[in-house]
Amino acid sequence: MHAQLALRAERCNEVRLQPEGEYVLYWMQSTHRFEENWALRFAVLEADRLNRPLLIHQGLDPTYPHANDRIHSFVLENARALARRAESLGYTYQFVVRCRRDDDRRVVDRLAARACLVVTDRFPTCGIAERTARFAARAPCRVVAVESYTVVPAAHFGKSEFAARTIRPKLAKLIEGALEPVEDRAPRRAFADSLASGLDVERLAIGACDDAAIAHEVARCEIDHAVPPVARTYFTSGLDAARARLHHFCAGALVDYEQRRSDPTDAEGSSRLSPYLHFGQISAAEVARAVRDAGPAASAEKYLDQLITWRELAFNFCVRDARHAQLRGLPDWVHRTMEQHKDDPREAHYTLRELEEGRTHDALWNAAQHELRTTGVIHNVVRMLWGKSVMQWTNRYKTALDHLLLLNDKWALDGRDPASVGGIQWCFGKFDRPWFNKPVWGTMRPMSLARAYDKWDAAGYVRQWTPENGPR
Ligand SMILES: Cc1cc2nc3c(=O)[nH]c(=O)nc-3n(C[C@H](O)[C@H](O)[C@H](O)COP(=O)(O)OP(=O)(O)OC[C@H]3O[C@@H](n4cnc5c(N)ncnc54)[C@H](O)[C@@H]3O)c2cc1C
């Protein structure tokens, strides 16, 4: 077994492997790709070792947090591409949609009843870790979760890392080995049609769906239809679109990444790959290799610091600290300062609804919220300001945190990710150090919406993202 696989795989129950099972099941939850998918690699190896075929199963149901048209459409469109590619790559892939909350929940259970073992993705947010743990506790066979999110296997870091500066040198020592390409291959034994038709599962022929059929499928699901899909001009789902964007970025903006990433009016100044990385449509290792090879070295290093150091720091936090989405996940100095400043008068008070609709007194903040609602992301520079401002406008720090998590996870195409949690908690001092003491901020790093106008073209950004001006 490849050394990385041993580090990435984790047993989820003590149940034995069932050698009389008919197949190995890979339950695809967070890594929606066939390439550089460590869980799939593990499942292929096990299938070959047991001389069994492999079934890849992906399901979509209405019970995940903030289930809505935006997320459903992105997942379905990628599933269509997977279904169309599977056969030529030698995989058997099936996709099942559960539309209603009270529809049959136990598809994976039924599939597991006939499996030797179940392999799935290891992912600490989106409710996936909890769902996997519940399933593993009742599964009749061994369940193994394998992590494909990081470039460097997260198991190298046994404890919660304190800050970027503590994890960065450790990652630097491991990165070259982790980036060595590993060849993907299909399982040796084919999954017989007779076996597939004998499974008691209602598959969606997603490979044959056109856009209208996907829209119809989304419309009949019991999900939040008030969050619409993102227009394809912003994000088109799938590996092909992700690769096109990666290569365009490497050939263009990468060379000036350090400067261009700080200009929120520059639509192509950063890679805009976060939704693809979130859904696992492209592997971070593939992105890292392309950037490293395209160079120049200083730009590549800056980019890889975001993609690897900051992203994997966030993953480490979510995996190692069960309190990652709560104020309790913040360092002691933050708690001390929050306690001292909890009753400081706030600049304004906004309800969740006012924030969600972008109806604050601040045009720049409202523009950021409008960018989020329209495109499914906010530019990084503005996202920091967007996140930092909310504690000034709610009477409790906890309310600010809860509102931000909700707004980000509901509207962002890259939301519900470890990087979402890491980014939002950073606004409250996670991975940071104490600054000078100020009202409400306490010793948390302050950030000013007003001062943004001196640093970059905030007026231009507001013009671009104010609803009456329409989307760009
Ligand atoms: C309040 C707040 C909320 C955030 N919410 C999210 C979120 O929901 N999902 C998300 O992926 N990122 C989030 N981030 C981090 C960052 O803003 C986005 O990753 C970045 O803006 C995505 O744009 P890009 O793909 O063009 O980034 P690029 O600059 O091209 O960077 C490449 C990749 O590196 C990773 N990355 C970049 N910056 C960070 C960072 N600070 N922390 C972790 N990973 C990073 C992302 O995967 C990104 O796609 C948040 C940051 C803040 C301050």
Q: What are phi and psi of 365, to 5 degrees?
A: -65, -45
- Report which of 141, 116, 148 is spatially closest to residue 28, judged by C-alpha positions: 148
Q: What is the 3-state secondary structure (H, E, C) of 259-272?
A: HHCCCCCCCCCCCC
Cβ-Cβ contacts under 8 Å for 177 (sequence gap 6 or more): none
Is residue 365 situated within a structural domain? yes
pLDDT reported for residue 307: 98
Is residue 215 situated within a structural domain? no
CATH of the domain at 419: 1.10.579.10
pLDDT reported for residue 195: 87
Cβ-Cβ contacts under 8 Å for 158 (sequence gap 6 or more): none
Is residue 309 situated within a structural domain? no
Is residue 128 situated within a structural domain? no
Give the residue numbers spanning the domain of 386. Answer: 327-469
Is residue 217 situated within a structural domain? no
Is residue 362 situated within a structural domain? yes
Is residue 382 situated within a structural domain? yes
Range from 62-66, 219-223, 397-401, 425-429 carrying the lowest mean pLDDT: 62-66
Ligand 1 atom closest to the Cα of residue 426 is: 53
Radius of gyration of the chain (CA): 23
Chain-centre distance for alpha carbon 66: 14
The yes-or-no verdict on residue 158 having pLDDT over 90 is: no
Q: How confident is the model at residue 472 (pLDDT cuts 50, 70, 90)?
A: very low
Q: How confident is the model at residue 358 (pLDDT cuts 50, 70, 90)?
A: very high
Q: How confident is the model at residue 471 (pLDDT cuts 50, 70, 90)?
A: very low
Ligand 1 atom closest to the Cα of residue 261 is: 29
The yes-or-no verdict on residue 368 having pLDDT over 50 is: yes
Please indicate whether residue 235, judged by its CB atom, sits closer than 6 Å to ligand 1: no
Count up the domains in the chain and report the number: 1
Is residue 409 situated within a structural domain? yes
pLDDT digits (tens, 9 = 90+) for 102-131: 777 789 999 999 999 999 999 999 999 999
Tell me the pLDDT of the chain averaged across its residues. Answer: 95
Burial 95-119 (b: 16+ CB within 10 A, else e): bbbbeeeeeeeebbeebbebbbbbb
273 CA to centre of ligand 1 in angstroms: 9
| Element holding 352 (H helix, E strand) | helix 352-356
Q: Which position has the higher pLDDT, 106 or 133?
A: 133
Q: Which position has the higher pLDDT, 267 or 255?
A: 255
Please indicate whether residue 423, judged by its CB atom, sits closer than 6 Å to ligand 1: yes
Chain-centre distance for alpha carbon 220: 25
Name which residue sits closest to atom 19 of ligand 1, judged by CA. 274
What pTM was estimated for this model as a whole?
0.97
| Element holding 56 (H helix, E strand) | strand 54-60
